[in-house]
Homo-oligomer: A and B are copies of this chain.
């Protein structure tokens, strides 16, 4: 296992055909449901991993962001932001504020609801995403951040 910043990892060439390749995807985010399409980096890492059948696991580090899929077009990006604003309004009262005063209670509960991980099967060398289905990071925090997504690819290298 090798870590790369903004580069794809390469696994050990296991004699048994099973391997684990871990990469890091780093993104500068603006917060407030900032949505980033990570599909291109992920495709590259899957290809470079040499893994033909298995899984791509995405995990965003931290408690104010989440991972999901969406048809990545400007309208839906806005719709998804509005969905989270409806579910957990920024202006509502949050108990997190009482102790921490950092104004991001809404960010935390949105992130806990969406959850930090996403897992996509790899079949015949490609993720089984639909044509209009992209892998996205959603940053709910209330400040710009440098976000780290761990991309762990596990499976058979043939």
Is A88 located at the chain interface by the 8 A CB criterion?
yes
Q: Are B53 and A1 in contact (CB under 8 A)?
A: yes
* Residue numbers in B under 8 Å from A71 (CB-CB): 63, 96, 108
Q: Are A22 and B53 in contact (CB under 8 A)?
A: yes
Q: Are B124 and A1 in contact (CB under 8 A)?
A: yes
Complex Cα gap A44–B53 (Å): 21
* Closest chain B CB from A147 CB (angstroms): 10
Complex Cα gap A112–B83 (Å): 10
Q: Are A95 and B69 in contact (CB under 8 A)?
A: no
* Closest chain B CB from A61 CB (angstroms): 5
What are 9 A-B pairs at a CB distance below 8 A?
A: A1-B156, A14-B17, A63-B133, A69-B112, A73-B96, A76-B112, A115-B115, A116-B120, A121-B152
